[in-house]
Amino acid sequence: MLGAADIARRAVLAAIAASGNGRLVAMASRSPERAREMLAPYPDARVIESYEALLADPEVDVVYNPLPNHLHKEWTLRAFQAGKHVLCEKPLAMNATEAEEMAAAATASGKHLMEAFMYRFHPAMRAFVEQLRDPVHVEASFGFTVKDADDIRLQEPFGGGALLDVGCYTVSVSRWILGEPVEVLARARIVRGVDMTITGLLTFTDNRTASIWASLEAPEGAQNLTVVADGGIHRRERPFSAYRDPHDPYQLMVESFGVSVLENKPVAIPVKESIANMRVLDRIAESARS
């Protein structure tokens, strides 16, 4: 694991430790004290004091990259150069151009790359999407409040903003259900270069539509998915973060990636899917700022 990120503490460390085909080997952090505290429940895992040393470790087969968005490309490319597979936190990159470069590097290295959209592995979420018949409209929202003014999610150079942080989920699920949009319109409330709240309308073939909303200044729990389809209206609350109920999508994601690595099978979320999602995010950002 590259970095002692909060998502590691909350979900991914436990998912790796509980997986049936993986083992937590080490965490590299520029704050060894924080890393040691996070790894306390996992006594077999080692703290490594630099990212470079972790990538050089022969015991490491797979790297999980939860670094800030602006570092996803750099350290994913370095991992491929070191001969490691990479499970990269969402969004895969800062933009589609970066994502394409990462995909090309994965192909050249012969290693697997997958974006960590854990919600796609939840059995209930998969069942929800699979039972839809002739959907015509999707409404997806994901918001919460970032309370620390120094949070990297509020820093433009680090790839901050609601769209990349949580809007990527709303776009992903809209495309999962409706396909690729042909038209994009968006508006945002931008503060110091960062989109604090963003709203988008995506138009698909046959005049099907999706309304997406993402915010870093919303009440906790502002997360919903509604689909208008043949046969009625289908709703799912907390579609992007419900876990351990009893399924843990993080563990299912880790195990799925492990199968791809161990058996050299295609990953469950192809990189071309992640690139397509980034292209729509780019279009939304451009529309909101124009």
Q: Is 230 helix (H, G, I), strand (E, B) or coil?
A: coil
**268: its two tokens:** 């469950």
CA distances from residue 147 to 158, 188, 218, 241 in whole angstroms, order as listed: 17, 19, 11, 19
Reply yes or no on whether 111 is catalytic: no
CA distances from residue 60 to 55, 91, 278 in whole angstroms, order as listed: 7, 23, 29
| ∠ Cα 41 85 28 (to 5°) | 40
CB 139 within 8 A of CB 170: no
Helix axis angle for 123-130 and 168-178, nearest 10°, is 40
Half-sphere exposure at residue 14, Cβ-oriented, CA atoms within 13 angstroms: 10
Cα 282 to chain centroid distance, Å, stands at 16
Given its phi and psi angles, is residue 244 left (phi above 0), alpha (psi -120 to 50 degrees) or beta? left
Q: Which of 90, 111, 147, 272 is catalytic?
A: 90
As a whole number of angstroms, the distance between CA 213 and CA 44 comes to: 42
Place of tokens 């990189």: 271
The one-letter amino acid at 282: D
The residues assigned a catalytic role are 90
